[in-house]
Amino acid sequence: MGLTGCADPRPLRLVIFDVDGTLVDSQAHILAAMDAAFARLNLPAPAPHATLATVGLSVPEAILQLVPGHDASVREALASHYKASFGAIRAETGRGISPLYPGTRDLLDTLHARDDLVTGIATGKSMRGLTYLLEEQGLAGFVTRQCADHHPSKPHPSMVLAALAETGVAARDAVMVGDTEYDMAMAVAAGVTAIGVGWGYHPAERLHAAGAREVLDSFADLPAALDRLWQEVTT
């Protein structure tokens, strides 16, 4: 059963958010964990821009993109060391290493106060990592949370399709908000509108090329962008 009610003729809307590079600035955390993983195997660490270009993919897919010439056992070891290092760094440093982007909390408070939409998450993080982050930052209110544990890596549309199924929202009434081309391509593949953010890990031109309707300069611009979109949908 979806979340829509019978008394209200308006369709329920869904805004799905990516996490890393969209809600939180996790680049320092990601780079430190990746460098530590490569160091464990005495391998040279990737250039920072190469690592950040993989943000949004699941860890195995990111490692494959970074070291396609290594055999599966090396890639599996790197993925394992990355996850372990990520957790160790998080435990040592706390929330300061992955702060919320400016305006994130205000935006979520604004959206969660509306009765015409619900919010969700689609992330390459594990559910454990996502839960830790949300609790640490005091973020709540997401009615659907889709993670790498149970889905293929982005840009496969599985996460978005699952979010639609869980909420009962039609694809035309949903939006995916993210910072990478993988988020945009995932949205397009699922038939939902893609909106990019300009402060993450992929430049605006890559987001547009992957199907972004628009790329925001600030989260303060998102409510108006949503209203414009849904006004078009209903006219």
Which of the residues are catalytic?
18, 20
Q: What count of other Cβ atoms lies within 10 Å of the Cβ of residue 217?
A: 11
Cis peptide before 99 (omega within 30 of 0): no
Give the three-class secondary structure for 24: strand
Cis peptide before 155 (omega within 30 of 0): yes
In sequence order, what are the residues at sequence separation of 6 or more whose Cβ sits closer than 8 angstroms to the Cβ of residue 87?
A: 129
CB 45 within 8 A of CB 38: yes
Q: State how far the Cα of 156 lies from the Cα of 226, in Å rounded to an integer.
A: 24
Q: Strands across the sheet with 117-122, in order?
A: 142-146, 117-122, 13-17, 174-178, 193-197, 214-216
